[in-house]
Chains A and B, each alone.
Chain A
Amino acid sequence: MSWRSFLRQTPFRLTLLFIVVYAFVAGMIFGYFYFANAAETRALTDMRVRMRVDHFRDIYEVQGPEALRRIIAHDDSPDWFMVEQVHNDQGQVTAQNRRATDLVSQGGLADAVPMSVVGAQDSEPVQQRIDPSGSKPFYLRGQVVRLGSDVTLYVAMDTSWADRGWHMGVKAIWGGAGLLIVLGLMAGLLINREVSRSVHDLMKVLDAVKEGDLKARVVLRESGDEFDALAERINDTLDRMEGTIGNLKYAGDAIAHDLRTPLSRLRTRLEVALYEVETDAAQAPDVLERALADTDQLLRTFQTVFAMSRLEAQGKAPDPQVFDAQALACDMAELFEPLAQDKGLAFDTEFANDLKVYGNRDFLAQALANLLDNAIKYTENGGITFRLRETSGGDVEFSVTDTGQGVPEADRLRIIQRFVRLESSRSLPGAGLGLSLVEAVARAHGGRLAIDEGPGIYKKGIYVNRGPGLRTALVLPPV
């Protein structure tokens, strides 16, 4: 990773920004302390100087100039921050304390005060820089007071104690700032490395998916952080995608597989037909008509398979609406009752009121038509009962019960599969898609197709508990 790309990375830039902001805030706080501290130092110094000046003024006024000069000259008190001098009108020192003597001998302090302040009454605080040989420069802050003719008092205080503390503070701040920057950069590098590793992992997986490896997944680190959450989300999305694509592939394979059977049947018939026409040309229209009927049947099959695949792929019914379940059941009963009657079968209905279903009316109608058609087709004696009821679980159930030959329990799952036709029904027309479609419609509506034992044989208006029969039910969730 080059230095430039490193600089472009978000975590590192955030770290830099953080350092700058932190340094700025620290500088502000530091500056505030500086000014507050300096003002405090000045005020304290000025007060102590003034007290000293007042003390000396008392001595001068009560005991006279000589006493003042003597007291100052003998002042070698441990309070050595104080510098005390008495000047005559020519500005020459006539007395000074020990501290002043020391400073003058070190060459730091002039033995005369500036002429500008001599003669001034109660001068403003004056500050002078002292640069003694062999030690650090410092500032004296004090006052020049003319007490009488030939007596000018200079009292000042060494402020180096405050400066020294201040300088140590500055040093500490610089050191701290250096440490802050170094540690901050290191933290930035660490965060950056961590984040780029996570991002890199994610990108690697996405790249793999882009290249077509749908099985690629991000390895979770179980840290529970945002990156893990993101990785989990990406993995979920990939799972779903893989599932959907798998379904589509499966649907495509299924269609190809499903259509092979009817196509090869059509081909065989055409082959036979060709042979028949060769032997007797007059059969041609008949043969063509049969081929046409076969093609229609094939197209119908294709349409059904296609509809199922779309239902399965979409996972929901198109154009869904809320409508009255009883109206649908009545329509279907009305449509199929003559078919049953023509076959000599009883056709009973029991429809509950006020049940609503949500879905595609045509698909649901087709599903019920398939159930009714099957029941009528596979029942020779007895009858059909078509019921609509609300189950104890609140579902809406359309059930069709017949008294036909039934389906052995082992085969009940099989008959839902596409193109599966049981031996016993091979002689009857159909492609083996009826129940598959019902199942697909049920699932697309969030419901299911239930296949159970029938009631037995219908005899003289009642069901005798003998013989299998079949009960198929389209169960839909409540609206």
Chain B
Amino acid sequence: MTQVLIVEDDVDAALTMQKGLREADIHATLTHDGETGLRALRAGAFDVVILDRMMPGLDGIALLERARQEGIDIPVLFLSALGELEDRVYGLKAGADDYLTKPYALAELVARVEALARRKDNGTGGLEAVLKVGALEMNLITRIVRRGDQEIDLQPREFQLLEFLMRNAGRSVTRTMLLEKVWAYHFDPQTNVIDVHVSRLRAKLDKGFDRAMLHTVRGEGYQLLP
């Protein structure tokens, strides 16, 4: 079971997060201030830390910098108040791995925590040459994608999109995550522009097969299942 440490001074928000994560089979330990958070981080074996930016005493950025100095390289998801774009920059510079602004959808939080936890499992974030999800196989070197015997011809961006989905197979990924990780832009797409790309990929991936692999998760995003 994935172990998450939540460092968040807003107790209600932390409890809601804990509940949401439990739905996804993730166990969360709560701490409500920076010092306690840092101690827990030093002592415990966690897979991911959810760290709030604004806290009395030791704040999120200071905690993160201290932890990174001490050589704690656990993946960190940084949370901050609405629209503080500078915070994202500071957070990422201080060593955060991902970033989410409040208010966020729980589904988004869970999806991102899962993605971070998986990256920790892999260690390096994927040096493997071949990705496999069920009958779907992606060779990262030859850039050939097959589902069973059938080779699937993909555009470069579709390839990246599928790679991200395969690396997060079995978990929901949100539209914002896709725009961030595949296109490397951080903004709210507002429209269905991502959906169009996913449905094109789905058309190539699932065409001619009885069973669909790429699923839409209502209200959340997408999921690639074996």
A contacts, CB < 8 Å to B: 289, 292-293, 296, 299-300, 302-304, 306-307, 310, 318-319, 331, 334-336, 338-339, 342, 360-363, 365-366, 369-370, 373, 377, 434
- A303 adjacent to B219 (CB under 8 Å): no
Question: With a CB–CB cut-off of 8 A, which chain B residues contact A370?
Answer: 190
- B187 adjacent to A335 (CB under 8 Å): no
B105 is an interface residue with CB less than 8 A from chain A: yes
B57 is an interface residue with CB less than 8 A from chain A: no
Question: With a CB–CB cut-off of 8 A, which chain A residues contact B189?
Answer: 369
Question: With a CB–CB cut-off of 8 A, which chain A residues contact B157?
Answer: 334
- A373 adjacent to B193 (CB under 8 Å): yes
Q: Looking at the assembled complex, report how far the CB atom of B222 sits from the nearest CB atom of chain A, in whole angstroms.
A: 16
Chosen A-B contacts, 11 in total, with CB atoms closer than 8 Å, are A293-B219, A296-B105, A306-B83, A307-B85, A319-B89, A339-B192, A360-B85, A362-B186, A363-B85, A365-B187, A366-B187
Please give me the 10 A-B residue pairs with the lowest Cβ-Cβ distance, nearest first: A366-B187, A306-B83, A338-B196, A362-B186, A319-B89, A365-B185, A318-B85, A339-B196, A318-B86, A362-B187
- Give the nearest-CB partner of B81 in chain A: A306
- B103 adjacent to A299 (CB under 8 Å): yes
B200 is an interface residue with CB less than 8 A from chain A: yes
Question: With a CB–CB cut-off of 8 A, which chain A residues contact B85?
Answer: 307, 310, 318-319, 360, 362-363
- A318 adjacent to B89 (CB under 8 Å): yes
- B196 adjacent to A361 (CB under 8 Å): no
- A331 adjacent to B190 (CB under 8 Å): no
Q: How far is the CA of A338 from the CA of B155 in the complex (A)?
A: 12
Beyond A331-B185, A362-B187, A373-B191, whether A303 also contacts B89 by CB under 8 A is no
B contacts, CB < 8 Å to A: 82-83, 85-86, 89, 101, 103, 105, 157, 183, 185-193, 196-197, 200, 218-219
Q: Looking at the assembled complex, report how far the CB atom of B191 sits from the nearest CB atom of chain A, in whole angstroms.
A: 5
- B193 adjacent to A339 (CB under 8 Å): yes
Question: With a CB–CB cut-off of 8 A, which chain B residues contact A369?
Answer: 187, 189-190, 193
Question: With a CB–CB cut-off of 8 A, which chain A residues contact B183?
Answer: 331, 335
- A303 adjacent to B82 (CB under 8 Å): yes
Q: Looking at the assembled complex, report how far the CB atom of B94 sits from the nearest CB atom of chain A, in whole angstroms.
A: 14
- A361 adjacent to B185 (CB under 8 Å): yes
Question: With a CB–CB cut-off of 8 A, which chain B residues contact A304?
Answer: 188
Question: With a CB–CB cut-off of 8 A, which chain B residues contact A334?
Answer: 157
Question: With a CB–CB cut-off of 8 A, which chain A residues contact B200?
Answer: 338
- Give the nearest-CB partner of A297 in chain B: B190
- A292 adjacent to B219 (CB under 8 Å): yes
Q: Of B85, B186, B219, which is in contact with the most chain A CB atoms at under 10 Å from its CB?
A: B85
- A319 adjacent to B86 (CB under 8 Å): yes
Question: With a CB–CB cut-off of 8 A, which chain A residues contact B188?
Answer: 300, 303-304, 366
Q: How far is the CA of A300 from the CA of B189 in the complex (A)?
A: 10
Q: Looking at the assembled complex, report how far the CB atom of A317 sits from the nearest CB atom of chain B, in whole angstroms.
A: 9
Question: With a CB–CB cut-off of 8 A, which chain B residues contact A303?
Answer: 82-83, 101, 188
Question: With a CB–CB cut-off of 8 A, which chain A residues contact B192?
Answer: 339
Q: How far is the CA of A106 from the CA of B57 in the complex (A)?
A: 103
Q: Looking at the assembled complex, report how far the CB atom of A248 sits from the nearest CB atom of chain B, in whole angstroms.
A: 15
Q: How far is the CA of A284 from the CA of B183 in the complex (A)?
A: 37
Question: With a CB–CB cut-off of 8 A, which chain A residues contact B82?
Answer: 302-303, 306
User: Which of B83, B105, B186, B218 has a CB less than 8 Å from the CB of A310?
Assistant: B83
- Give the nearest-CB partner of A340 in chain B: B196
- B196 adjacent to A342 (CB under 8 Å): yes
Q: How far is the CA of A46 from the CA of B103 in the complex (A)?
A: 109
Question: With a CB–CB cut-off of 8 A, which chain B residues contact A363?
Answer: 85, 187
Q: How far is the CA of A10 from the CA of B82 in the complex (A)?
A: 52
- A338 adjacent to B187 (CB under 8 Å): no
Question: With a CB–CB cut-off of 8 A, which chain B residues contact A299?
Answer: 103
User: Which of B83, B190, B193 has a CB less than 8 Å from the CB of A307?
Assistant: B83
Q: How far is the CA of A360 from the CA of B85 in the complex (A)?
A: 10
Q: How far is the CA of A370 from the CA of B85 in the complex (A)?
A: 19
Question: With a CB–CB cut-off of 8 A, which chain A residues contact B86?
Answer: 318-319
Q: How far is the CA of A303 from the CA of B104 in the complex (A)?
A: 11
Question: With a CB–CB cut-off of 8 A, which chain B residues contact A434?
Answer: 190
- Give the nearest-CB partner of B103 in chain A: A299
Q: How far is the CA of A436 from the CA of B190 in the complex (A)?
A: 14
- Give the nearest-CB partner of A429 in chain B: B191
Q: Of A310, A369, A373, which is in contact with the most chain B CB atoms at under 10 Å from its CB?
A: A369
Q: Looking at the assembled complex, report how far the CB atom of A299 sits from the nearest CB atom of chain B, in whole angstroms.
A: 6
Q: How far is the CA of A362 from the CA of B179 in the complex (A)?
A: 11
Question: With a CB–CB cut-off of 8 A, which chain A residues contact B196?
Answer: 338-339, 342
Q: Looking at the assembled complex, report how far the CB atom of B66 sits from the nearest CB atom of chain A, in whole angstroms.
A: 24
- A289 adjacent to B185 (CB under 8 Å): no
Question: With a CB–CB cut-off of 8 A, which chain A residues contact B89?
Answer: 318-319
Question: With a CB–CB cut-off of 8 A, which chain A residues contact B190?
Answer: 300, 369-370, 373, 434
Question: With a CB–CB cut-off of 8 A, which chain B residues contact A336?
Answer: 193
Q: How far is the CA of A126 from the CA of B139 in the complex (A)?
A: 127
- Give the nearest-CB partner of B84 in chain A: A310
Question: With a CB–CB cut-off of 8 A, which chain B residues contact A319?
Answer: 85-86, 89
- Give the nearest-CB partner of B86 in chain A: A318
Q: Looking at the assembled complex, report how far the CB atom of A181 sits from the nearest CB atom of chain B, in whole angstroms.
A: 63
Q: How far is the CA of A318 from the CA of B185 in the complex (A)?
A: 15
- A335 adjacent to B193 (CB under 8 Å): yes
Q: How far is the CA of A292 from the CA of B105 in the complex (A)?
A: 10
Question: With a CB–CB cut-off of 8 A, which chain B residues contact A302?
Answer: 82
Q: Looking at the assembled complex, report how far the CB atom of B47 sits from the nearest CB atom of chain A, in whole angstroms.
A: 28
Q: How far is the CA of A366 from the CA of B186 in the complex (A)?
A: 9
Q: How far is the CA of A1 from the CA of B76 in the complex (A)?
A: 65
- B197 adjacent to A338 (CB under 8 Å): yes
Q: How far is the CA of A306 from the CA of B103 in the complex (A)?
A: 13
Q: How far is the CA of A361 from the CA of B218 in the complex (A)?
A: 30
